[in-house]
Structure 1
Amino acid sequence: MSELKTMQDALDIVKDIQIGDLVQGEVLTLQDKQAIVGIVDGGVEGVIPFNELSATPFEKIEDILSVGDVVDLVVIKQIKDKENGSFLLSKRRVDAKKVWEEIQEKFEKGEVIEAPVTAIVRGGLVVDCGVRGFVPASMVTDHFVEDFSSFKGQTLKFKIVEIEPSENRLILSHRAILEAEKAAKKEELFAKIKENEIVEGTVARLTNFGAFVNLGGVDGLVHISQIAHEHIKHASEKLAVGDKVQAKVLSVEKETGRIALSIKETLAKPWDNIEERAHKDAILDGVVKRLTTFGAFVEVFPGVEGLVHISQIAHKHIATPQEVLKEGQEVKVKVLDVNPEEQRISLSIKALEEAPKPEVKDVEVEEVEEVIPVVLEEEAPVTLADRLGDKLSGLVSDDK
């Protein structure tokens, strides 16, 4: 009778185990694709399939269980073929339920969770939180990212956006964490930053109108006119993303969160010591920046332009500077005069060029007939007889 009672008790216990019940199982044997356990106080064995061992990735069963371990399990179904056990059990689902309860509690308290990114899928990231979490692409970061592959394997912090254990749905946001951190840094920076002080930062972005410099979680704008003393068309002419720079704080607007910076205010002024660098008669290299009706402005140092008057461009007469020069042309100039107070420099291009020799015109010579000098014989003395001539001869004839 006692033996029958014992068998009946065992059958009663087996009948008391229902699908969905939580039980404990002692690991008896580890096989390739499953683990055999004895249900504690149940008098029967159960099977844990490979895919029900853990919610986290693993390669071997030994990575999850060892013989003799006592683990919490949930009954999935009863096995008709009882060769290896009477019930199909799951450790993964019990673990997942505990994880869901922990995540639910953190969600209600507004706490942050930390987890590794396990996969990149279309539309976002898959995260292992003990259960599967999903991060939509729009919630990954606070700026546009075309390729998320660099995030795989990283352990990041997340804010719980939505949780629904019954549907295994867990939506997370890393962007919310970044925005919260940035807001905290911004508040801290605005509390201590002051106008006219010199700050250090890193060039974060370049635009057509200037450059954004990161000051440690907050970006300040350096307008293109405040990058250099000389005129530039784009910020990339002087800066590159990642450059470490110093800048002067021009203004701070806490209400709008804007900080205006100037890099050129930390640089030496173009006209400092100009008399030493561009003294009278100095020969300098320059670039033609502007052409006007009265001459050309040539940049000889960054931010320093001098005037080459039209009369000093060439030795020959020109009606406009464009006849000889063009903007962007490199030229050599001679300093004629420098006036630091008025920030004026007079330059000359033609002073460095050899003046052309004056042209010699050919003179036409008219042909002149050869003049033969006539030499007159020396005149004989004139006598009285020469003067009277024939008159004397007449007188002689009458006497005869």
Structure 2
Amino acid sequence: MESRPMDKQKRTSGKKRNRRNQGRKSAPSHLDQAPHFDPDKLMEMADVGDWNAVYDASVLIEEEGKATVAFRDASGQEIKCVLSEQEAALLTEGQTAVRVYLEEKKTTEEEVGPKLEASILKARYLDNFKSLEASFGSQERVNGVVLADTKGGFSVALGAKDFDEVLQGAGIRAFLPRRDASSNRLGREEIRGIAGEFHVKELDVAKGNVVVSRKVVASELEAQAQAEAWSRLEEDQVVVGQVKNIVRYGAFVSLNGIDALLHQNDLVWDKNPPVHEVVRLGQTLELKVLEVNPDEKRLRVGLKQMTPDPFELIKEKYEEGTQAHGTVVALTDFGAFVKMPEDIEGLIHVSEISWERVKHPQDHFEIGQEVDVMVLGMDSVARKLSLSAKALQKNPVEKIAETYPEGTRISTSVKSIVDFGVFVSLDAHVDGLVHIGELSWTQRPQHPSEILEEGDEIEIIVMGYDTQRQRVSCSYKRTKPDPFKEWEEKYKVGQTVEMTVTRFTDRGAIEELDGGLVVLCANRDLSEEKVHRAQEATKIGATLEGVVTEFDRRHLVVNISVKRLLQSERKEAYQAYLDKQDEDSNQRMTLGDALKAQLPTTEDSDA
């Protein structure tokens, strides 16, 4: 037949299988058998005749060194049978009893009597099969050893406890499907050689098939092992594990069958690098147990905790107010990151770069630049130092405070106008703020531009300094006298004042004074008679005298009342009249009483 080259895909698959099998420990060649037994051999052995049966025999060693077994037949006669070298090799030193299978062989015409052959292997085979049938019927588990790989699973020697027994011929071959080999996905290398209990799922004597499973057994063993492993775990314990899987947020490490989480935050002290840059699959690590929760099956371990925390070691060195030296390693919109000699990073916030206004850190620093800084604080959670560059510089506001103490009058110009006030220039680095409430004594502007414009040359008074917030408070209105002091003295409530009418409104007669103060006499207060319009009771330029009833400081209005003054004057006049009347009445009574006292009484006249 013409030979054809192997298909390329088949050749490639064969090469891959060969590479996978390199280094794999295999069972001895005579054990690497198909996972089934010979049913014809079994049926032949099971045909019990005169001699075909299993007997308990004694082991004898003849003078020639040959191993012989002796037993008694049904009549009690002792019969001896020499073991072959292969069968004799199965005996252990000093063994005195053994079970053998006796098989009657055909004899020649010259031979007398039956020819018997003893087999320890066949006896074990029959005993194992009977035990297997009983176990299958009762669903009991059977001991066995996983021998080798087969298609779709493994070959198992049922009835054998270990490889030594298998080498001696013990065990009935069975098939262990791959899916029933373990409760988790163990590798083939891990499954080969496993000795333990198996559950017989199928037994087909006619076909010589035995199918077994160790999935339930493996689950029980794994649960028992895990329970024991959990009981041995405790926090702060040092354990050894192997990296099983790497994920975005960390790695899973196998510890005696328990999967522990090694979180990304517990890899290294200084930062959170990608997990694959710190650990690799299959790597064996020494770890510290951080959390043990058997109820929720949660185990957390740490790698960085195996070394001292460098941040704790430098706490005393970098106390608040300490001056330090570092290197700029990164620039962002919000500041500059500086690495210290101990590989600890600190942040110079944009507000701590300079006393001047900073648009971007790159205007003051560049990567790799060495800088002197002052430690403002330490964040143990974020593991960063708060640093300041400007703290090592002279505060310009403090310099201004020395030059211009509070209360100093300064000539300057309006630099900019905002909704809440105007900024004036004090020197090249410091601006002062005149709040909108400090622009005028009497005006209430909606916006500072109603009073001042950018570039106006003005005088201001320094009111105070806030060195922490870098602010200088100034006043424009305080460069002029406070008119309210004079007004509040002159226009006290209840005091009689005069006003000159300058105009009329619907409310009444008004006099407008310098500074925006308005004196108002309402229509109802112009006269004791009812007045609808102020023009009915007075005229422009007329002088009115009245009593101050209210000083509205907020709206700069003084309310007076002519009517109240008239009522007050009339009341006073009437009271004076009453007082005078009382006085006159008292004088008349005194005179009458005096005259009466001087007149003679009736009794005197009669006498």
What is the DSSP-based 3-state SS (H/G/I as helix, E as strand, rest coil) of the residue aligned with 2:239?
Answer: strand
Q: Give yes or no for the alignment of 1:79 onto 2:112.
A: no
- Partner in structure 1 of residue 236 of structure 2: 198
Q: Conserved in 1, the CA contact under 8 Å of 2:335 and 2:349?
A: yes
Residue 257 of structure 1, aligned match among 293, 297, 301: 297
Instruction: Output one character per residue of 1:58-92: Cα deviation in whole Å (capped at 9) or x when no partner.
Output: x83431479x98753254x7637567765777553
1:94 maps to amino acid: A
- Partner in structure 1 of residue 89 of structure 2: 63
Change (3 A) 1:347 1:180: farther
Q: Give yes or no for the alignment of 1:233 onto 2:274.
A: yes
Q: Give yes or no for the alignment of 1:181 onto 2:200.
A: no
For CA contacts below 8 A with separation 6 or more, give which structure has more relative contact order: 1
Residue 290 of structure 2, aligned match among 240, 245, 248: 248
CA distance in 2, matches of 1:190, 1:155: 24
Q: Conserved in 2, the CA contact under 8 Å of 1:182 and 1:218?
A: no
Q: Conserved in 1, the CA contact under 8 Å of 2:87 and 2:120?
A: no
CA distance in 2, matches of 1:261, 1:138: 32
RMSD: 5.3
CA distance in 1, matches of 2:325, 2:58: 95
Structure 1 unaligned segments of length 5 or more: list them: 1-15, 51-58, 352-400
TM-score, with structure 1 as normaliser: 0.54
- Partner in structure 2 of residue 138 of structure 1: 179
* Residue 165 of structure 1, CA deviation: 7.2
Instruction: Output one character per residue of 1:90-148: Cα deviation in whole Å (capped at 9) or x when no partner.
Output: 553332121233455566474562x5544343444334322224433334445545552
1:334 maps to amino acid: V
* Residue 296 of structure 1, CA deviation: 3.4
- Partner in structure 2 of residue 272 of structure 1: 312
What is the DSSP-based 3-state SS (H/G/I as helix, E as strand, rest coil) of the residue aligned with 1:231?
Answer: coil
* Residue 160 of structure 1, CA deviation: 2.5
Q: Which structure's CA Rg is the greater one?
A: 2
CA distance in 1, matches of 2:109, 2:83: 14
- Partner in structure 2 of residue 126 of structure 1: 155
Q: Give yes or no for the alignment of 1:97 onto 2:126.
A: yes
Map 1:20-39 → 2, pairs under 5 A: 21=53
- Residue range with higher mean Cα deviation, 154-163 or 103-112: 103-112
Residue 258 of structure 2, aligned match among 218, 243, 259: 218
CA distance in 2, matches of 1:271, 1:264: 12
Change (3 A) 1:247 1:70: closer
Q: Conserved in 1, the CA contact under 8 Å of 2:346 and 2:386?
A: yes
CA distance in 2, matches of 1:257, 1:164: 39
Residue 338 of structure 1, aligned match among 355, 361, 375: 375
2:240 maps to amino acid: T
Change (3 A) 1:65 1:185: closer
What is the DSSP-based 3-state SS (H/G/I as helix, E as strand, rest coil) of the residue aligned with 2:272?
Answer: coil
Count of residues in correspondence between the two structures = 305
1:99 maps to amino acid: N
CA distance in 2, matches of 1:83, 1:151: 55
Q: Conserved in 2, the CA contact under 8 Å of 1:162 and 1:172?
A: yes
* Residue 37 of structure 1, CA deviation: 8.7
Q: Conserved in 2, the CA contact under 8 Å of 1:27 and 1:37?
A: yes
Q: Conserved in 1, the CA contact under 8 Å of 2:261 and 2:300?
A: yes
1:306 maps to amino acid: L
Change (3 A) 1:335 1:80: farther
- Partner in structure 2 of residue 164 of structure 1: 203
2:124 maps to amino acid: D
- Partner in structure 2 of residue 292 of structure 1: 332
Structure 2 unaligned segments of length 5 or more: list them: 1-47, 161-169, 393-607
Q: Conserved in 2, the CA contact under 8 Å of 1:182 and 1:217?
A: yes
Aligned residues with identical type, % of pairs: 16
1:160 maps to amino acid: H
CA distance in 2, matches of 1:70, 1:161: 28
Change (3 A) 1:165 1:267: same
What is the DSSP-based 3-state SS (H/G/I as helix, E as strand, rest coil) of the residue aligned with 2:375?
Answer: strand
Change (3 A) 1:88 1:262: closer
Q: Conserved in 2, the CA contact under 8 Å of 1:162 and 1:169?
A: no
Instruction: Output one character per residue of 1:361-385: Cα deviation in whole Å (capped at 9) or x when no partner.
Output: xxxxxxxxxxxxxxxxxxxxxxxxx
* Residue 158 of structure 1, CA deviation: 3.1
Q: Conserved in 2, the CA contact under 8 Å of 1:200 and 1:215?
A: no
- Partner in structure 1 of residue 462 of structure 2: none
Q: Conserved in 1, the CA contact under 8 Å of 2:101 and 2:118?
A: yes
Change (3 A) 1:245 1:110: farther
CA distance in 2, matches of 1:106, 1:322: 86
Q: Conserved in 1, the CA contact under 8 Å of 2:250 and 2:263?
A: yes
- Partner in structure 2 of residue 389 of structure 1: none
Change (3 A) 1:233 1:96: same
What is the DSSP-based 3-state SS (H/G/I as helix, E as strand, rest coil) of the residue aligned with 1:228?
Answer: coil
What is the DSSP-based 3-state SS (H/G/I as helix, E as strand, rest coil) of the residue aligned with 1:60?
Answer: helix
TM-score, with structure 2 as normaliser: 0.39
* Residue 204 of structure 1, CA deviation: 2.8
